[in-house]
Amino acid sequence: MLNLLFTLCCLFYEPRSWLHYPALNEIGAITFDNHQAYISTPDGIYILNLFNQRHLRTLTRADGIHDRIRFCAFNPSARELLIAGAQNLFAFIPATGQIQHLQPPFTRINSIGISPDGAYFETEQGLFKKTGAADRYQPVNTVPTNVRWYGQKDTTPLQKYTFLTPYYLMDEELIIRPLNRAYPEERTGKLYVTCPGYGIIIYNLISGLKEKVIRLGPPTATITSIVSADHRLWFLSPNTILMLDSTGNWYQSLNPAANLTFNRTHLLFSTALLELNRQEPITNLLSFPNRTLLSTTQALYALTSEGKPELLIQFNQKVNALALVRDSVLIGTDNGLFLLTDDTLTPITDPYARFDFGVYSIASTKQTTFFGARGRILQLDENNTWSQLLIPEFDLSQPVRTMTAAPNLLFVATDFGIDIFNLKTQTWTRLDTTTGLAKLQVTALYADENYLWIAAPDIISRYEYKKQLH
C-alpha cells in the first residue's frame, strides 16, 4: 500500500515551546536589564535570569531576526534590546516579547553606545542618536563621556580587572583558553568574562573570586547523531562528542588522554571510545542488560566490561543506522537491511524491493517501525504488514537519512525543515523557520516522551512538541 496523503497542517510559532542553544565560540556582547542578561552569538541571543543564570529563551530567526547577529546592547531609556545584524537593526521589547525591524538611515553599525539619555550609533555615515522608543535618529557630533560602548568600541578592557591575570584559563583537557572580554553587572556585583570555545565565567566584582561557569552552547561541530546513554543525551560528531548535563551546561572532549575526570565518570568520554570516534565516527549506541552495542560508519562493536570497544562485524559498506526493534537488532546500510542474530547478519527484504537501494535511517514506535529508503519511507506494523509512506514535496531520488519517532509521531528532516507524520490522523505537519526552527539544514534528530532535539549547523534546539502536537 502507498500512502499518498499530502495534506500539510499548519502550526503557529510558540516561543515557550522552544529552547535554542547556539554555539558560543563567537560571543558578540553581553548586556543586561534589571532582570535578565542577554548574550549575543551569530545565530541567536541567549536570555538568562540575571540572578541565577537560568536559560529562559533564545531569540533566533524564528523571532524575526533575519540577519546574522553581530552584537546587542540594552537601551534602558527605551526599555529595548538593540540588536545589530550584518545589514539590519532590530529591537527586542522584553515587556511584549516581540521583535521590531527598525529602519535607521544607516546600514553598517560599528558600535552602539548606551547612556541614560539614549542610544548612540557609530556608523559608516557618522554618529547618530536614538532618543526614546521611537524609530527616529538624528546626526550628532559628540557623545557624552558616560557612554557604555558595545561592538568595535567595547568600553571595558580585561586589564581593568587585575584578578583576571594572566587572562587565560586551562580547561579540563589542559587546553589553554584566552579570556576575551569583560562585562560588569553592578547591581548583582558580578563580572561576566567571555572565553571563546569554552564558555562564560562569572566572577565576584568585590572579591575577584570565580563563582560560576556557564557553558550554554555547543561548539561549532556538525552533529551527525544524537543518542541517549548513561542517563544523559550525547551529541556525536566526527571530531568530538558532546554531553548535555542536568544543569543545562555542555561539555565536549577533544583530547582523550587529558580528560581524566570525564573518562572516569561518563561512558562516552572514555579514552577508548573517543579514539574510536576519531577513526570511525560513532553513529549510534544501544544498551541492553549486560551488553552495549555501538555502530560506526564502518563496523559494529560490543563494549567490554571495561568499556572498551570489541569488534563484532566489519562492513564493506557504510553503516547508516542501528536500532532495537521488538528485541531485534537491525542494521541499515547502503546495501540494505540486516538482522543481527548471535553476532551474525541475516539480510531482510521488503515486498517493494526498496531496501536494495539502501536503508539510511530507522525509527520506531510501539506499533510501527519506519525505514528510511530512497525517496520514501517503508512502514512495518505490529501485524507484519508493509506499506509505503511518501513525504510531501520530497525529492524521490534522495535518501531519507534523518528521522526519529515518538508515540504516534514520526519526525523527518527534509530540505524544507522537519515534516511530522501523525499516525493517528494520518496527516503531515511542517516545522520551518516560521514556526520555530532556527535553521532548515537539520543534521540529526532525537525524540523522547516530551522533547524533540534538533541538530543544525552551529546550533542545537529543543522543541517541546507535546504543547502543539497531539
- Locate cell 507535546: which residue? 466
Give yes or no for a cis peptide into 166 (omega within 30° of 0): yes
> Which of helix, strand or coil describes residue 274?
helix
- Tell me how crowded residue 344 is: count the other CB atoms within 10 A of its CB: 10
Q: Give, in order, the Cα–Cα distances in Å from 455 to each of 254, 439, 440, 443.
A: 19, 9, 10, 6
- 158 Cβ contact list (under 8 Å, min separation 6): 164, 167, 179, 180, 181, 182, 193
| Nearest-angstrom CA–CA distance, 344 and 350 | 20
Distance CA 429, CA 422 (A): 8
Q: Which amino acid is at 424?
A: K
> For 363-421, what is each residue's pLDDT tens digit?
999 899 999 999 999 999 989 999 999 999 999 999 999 999 999 999 999 999 999 99
- Digits of tens for pLDDT over the chain (470 positions)? 455 445 566 688 999 999 999 988 889 999 999 999 999 999 999 999 999 999 999 999 999 999 999 999 999 999 999 999 999 999 999 999 999 999 999 989 999 999 999 999 999 999 999 988 889 999 999 999 899 999 999 888 899 999 999 999 988 778 899 999 999 999 999 999 999 878 899 999 999 999 999 887 776 678 888 988 777 888 888 777 888 877 777 877 655 444 444 444 456 667 788 888 888 888 888 877 778 898 988 899 998 877 789 999 998 888 899 988 877 899 999 999 999 988 889 999 999 999 999 999 999 998 999 999 999 999 999 899 999 999 999 999 999 999 999 999 999 999 999 999 999 999 999 999 999 999 999 999 999 999 999 999 989 999 999 988 86
Rounded Cα–Cα distance for residues 470 and 466 (Å): 6
Q: What is the DSSP letter of 73?
A: E
Residues constituting the chain: 470
Q: What is the pLDDT of residues 32-81, one digit of tens each?
A: 999 999 999 999 999 999 999 999 999 999 999 999 999 999 999 999 99
Whether 223 contacts 455, CB under 8 Å: yes
- Where does CATH 2.130.10.10 sit in the chain? 24-154, 220-467
| CATH no., domain 220-467 | 2.130.10.10
- Whether domain 24-154 has CATH 2.130.10.10: the reply is yes
Pairing of strands 232-236, 182-185: unpaired
Measure the CA–CA gap between 376 and 388, rounded to whole angstroms.
7
pTM greater than the 0.75 cutoff: yes
